[in-house]
Amino acid sequence: MKILVPVKRVVDYNVKVRVKADGTGVDIANVKMSMNPFDEIAVEEAVRLREAGIATEVVAVSCGVTACQETLRAAMAIGADRGILVETDVELQPLAVAKLLKALCDKEQPTVVIGGKQAIDDDSNQTGQMLAALMGWPQATFASKVTLGDGVATVMREIDGGLETLEIKLPAVVTTDLRLNEPRYATLPNIMKAKKKPLDTVKPADLGVDIAPRLATLKVAEPPKRSAGVRVADVAQLVDKLKNEAKVI
């Protein structure tokens, strides 16, 4: 069983991004880039399934600029067997990424695609669902537990108000939520080993996919700032403020 894991290169989780003064975007020059945390969880899950003898191969895929090679190497350091970079400098939106992944799924024929539920840069939360739609496959988004069986997967999902368990036919797309697993730290020997693993590069045109953006970003602005209020000395003063000043209780 082959598992395909899409991974995205994003601004690191701990970086507080700044909006550019000209309003054209956020400033990502010279900031630390990392693998999207949800994708890291996806890689970990796929590697665990291979280690458990359920999956035979884990293929990491990244779409974007040349530097996405680093993200693929990071996935291979966690344990992915090989990487595929779909290289382009064009801004990729979720629909375009889903189409690129569809082309790769047609070629690679994975049994399951496990990806992050959303990327922490554009916060779209779309690509997995879109890929499932384009493939005509079932989807199990926001997974907190994945069990692969014979021709079916059982997935526990985080939904509003609790959890639900779906049984989905394979092949399928699963997207990860935070509590699916805790990704391991890549060890130095594994980082070194990852450098020798195969990494293929293709271009969107090779896959015959139109990646033209459908959305134009007109501007990017700072969110409305919330200013700090006052410090209250004790509970009595707090209750008084809430009752008589804010009038919310």
For another protein, give the closer residue by CB, 50 or 117: 117
Positions in 170-189 near another protein (CB under 8 A) = 172, 177-179
CB of 25 to another protein, least distance (A): 8
Q: Is 117 exposed, middle or buried (0-12, 13-18, 19+ CB in 10 A)?
A: buried
For another protein, give the closer residue by CB, 58 or 98: 98
Stretch that binds another protein, among 12-20, 44-52, 59-67, 190-198 (CB under 8 A): 12-20
Figure out which of the listed residues 72, 127, 180, 202 binds another protein, where binding follows CB under 8 A. 127
Positions in 67-106 near another protein (CB under 8 A) = 93-95, 98
Query: Could you give the C-alpha distances from 220 to 22, 36, 60, 95, in angstroms and in order?
Result: 9, 21, 31, 21
Residue 248 CA to residue 7 CA, distance in Å, equals 45
Residue 34 CA to residue 134 CA, distance in Å, equals 28
Residue 226 lies near another protein (rule: CB under 8 A):
yes
- The kind and range of the H/E element at 226 are none
Figure out which of the listed residues 1, 120, 199, 207 binds another protein, where binding follows CB under 8 A. 120
Residue 125 CA to residue 25 CA, distance in Å, equals 20
CB of 91 to another protein, least distance (A): 12
Residue 191 lies near another protein (rule: CB under 8 A):
no
Figure out which of the listed residues 76, 113, 168, 180 binds another protein, where binding follows CB under 8 A. 168
CB of 44 to another protein, least distance (A): 16
Figure out which of the listed residues 79, 138, 183, 204 binds another protein, where binding follows CB under 8 A. 138
Residue 21 lies near another protein (rule: CB under 8 A):
no
Figure out which of the listed residues 69, 154, 190, 201 binds another protein, where binding follows CB under 8 A. 154
CB of 231 to another protein, least distance (A): 5
For another protein, give the closer residue by CB, 165 or 187: 165
Residue 218 lies near another protein (rule: CB under 8 A):
yes
Residue 217 CA to residue 214 CA, distance in Å, equals 10
143 backbone dihedrals φ, ψ, rounded to 5°: -75, 135
Q: Is residue 27 a contact partner of residue 18, using CB atoms and an 8 Å limit? A: yes
Q: Is residue 104 a contact partner of residue 61, using CB atoms and an 8 Å limit? A: yes
Handedness of CA 121, 125, 128, 132 (dihedral sign): negative
Stretch that binds another protein, among 55-63, 151-159, 184-192, 201-209 (CB under 8 A): 151-159
Figure out which of the listed residues 19, 33, 103, 191 binds another protein, where binding follows CB under 8 A. 19
Residue 117 CA to residue 129 CA, distance in Å, equals 9
Half-sphere exposure of 219 (CA within 13 A, CB side): 6
